[in-house]
Amino acid sequence: MSLEEGRISRFQLIMLMVGFIYGTSVILSPAASAGHDGWIASLIGVMEALLIAWVFCALANQFKDKTLVEINDLVYGRILGKVISLIFIWYLFHVSAMVLTVFYRFFATEFYIATPKTILLIVFVAVCASTVGRGIEVLARCSVVLVSLTLLIIINDVFIAIPTMDIKNLLPILDIPVGKLLWAAHSAAAFPFVETVAFTMIFAFVNNHKGRYAPVATAILIGGLSLTLLVARNSLVLGPMEFCYEYPTHMAIQMIDLGDILSRLEVVVAVFFIFGAFLKVSVLLYGMSLSLSQVLKLSSYRPLIIPIGILMIILALTNVGSGVELFVFIDKGFPIYAVPWEFGIPMVTLIVAKLRKLPQTGGDQV
């Protein structure tokens, strides 16, 4: 009997993935290290992500009704398969802690200075846990509403920021070394676009088992292009000063002041950041709970949600010593650290499955 009886549509999958991609990236500009060429690096990162996503989508298509944990058991055997699954669970766990760290540091710095960070995390994770406990269908329905609102907010913010933009802030184009540009692009691909590998725990519950690549590519394009628009907007508004801010999107919105009509719009940024962080943490919490319950052969994943949520909070509060350390890791360390999980394990698993001609009944095409 499946641990998850709910099913979602391909459209809901796309919306859930777009919300996941937004996550923390709506305030942490992808490819920020490329400076005013960040929008170019972000576009290159989207193209890299589309190539890497083909790998884990091809793997999912080989085993159309299986989660990654079940695939690992079939491909590597029960013992080695569970070891690899536990390694993958650690990746989800670590990423979720990073997202929570960015979340509480942002709000503790910009809005709730006097509120204990532990309280912020407990309240936020409790909301995520409550949603995850209701199943993948509820989470997917939430994503349709929240992502639609976020897209409207992004488009509106870019439009009303036009009076504060200066096209000279994007010039000269491509004046940074190629190596630095490509590293910034890879950084953007790794965080957040290819983190969608987490959905290998969700693909099995899509009610249409046609190829996974089309909805995944659609989500990466929607999320990637809209984030690229934000990156370009931030550079156009802030110019060289963009490097001085930890949260350039937040600061770019603060620069908007249309008399007494529109001002203090940074609250809007905080709202759609909450939307994205909620969807991303919920997907990761769902993936960890479901995958660990499959590894342990439990009858339900729901009893694991609260314990895993508590561990996420503990790691979020202890994994880095400062904001600088966190941002350096995201820009310098994570693009290398994430390669085994986002590309290595899916690629090796796909190759082994092909060599062993698994599953015996064959799979759909990408």
Q: Which two tokens stand for residue 211?
A: 């190829």
Residues near 223 by beta carbon (within 8 Å), at least 6 away in sequence: 17, 18, 20, 21, 22, 192, 193
What would the DSSP string read from start to end of 35-64? GGGHHHHHHHHHHHHHHHHHHHHHHHHHTT
Contact indicator for 329, 24 with CB cutoff of 8 Å = no
Q: How far apart are CA 36 and CA 58, in angstroms?
A: 35
CA 29, 31, 36, 42 torsion-angle sign: negative
Give the pLDDT score at 360: 67
Calpha distance 282→125 (Å, rounded): 8
Contact 231, 42 (CB under 8 A): yes
Set out the domains of the chain in order of their start, with CATH numbers.
10-352 (1.20.1740.10)
Question: Which pLDDT does position 262 carry in this prediction?
Answer: 56
pLDDT of 1-50, one tens digit each?
Answer: 478 888 999 999 999 999 999 998 888 888 888 989 999 999 999 999 99
Single-letter amino acid code for the residue at 255: M
Looking at residue 365, its pLDDT comes to 45
Low-confidence ranges of the chain (pLDDT < 70): 1, 257-265, 360-366
Q: Give the separation between CA 24 and CA 47, rounded to whole angstroms.
A: 20
Query: Which amino acid is present at 200?
Result: T
Cβ(81)–Cβ(349) below 8 Å: no
Write out pLDDT tens, residues 227-240. Answer: 999 999 999 999 88
pLDDT score of 111: 83
Asked if 170 contacts 236 with a C-beta cutoff of 8 angstroms, the reply is yes
CA distance 203 to 56: 11
The strand ranges marked E within the chain are none
Distance (Å, whole) CA 253 – CA 169: 16
What does residue 206 show for φ and ψ, rounded to 5 degrees?
A: -80, 130
What's residue 363's pLDDT?
A: 46
Q: Is 70 helix (H, G, I), strand (E, B) or coil?
A: helix
Q: How many CB atoms lie within 10 A of CB 116?
A: 11
Tell me the C-alpha distance between 327 and 319, whole Å.
12
Per the CB < 8 A criterion, the answer to whether 238 and 245 are in contact is: yes
Per-residue CA distances from 305 to 13, 104, 121, 140, 274 (Å): 21, 20, 15, 18, 20
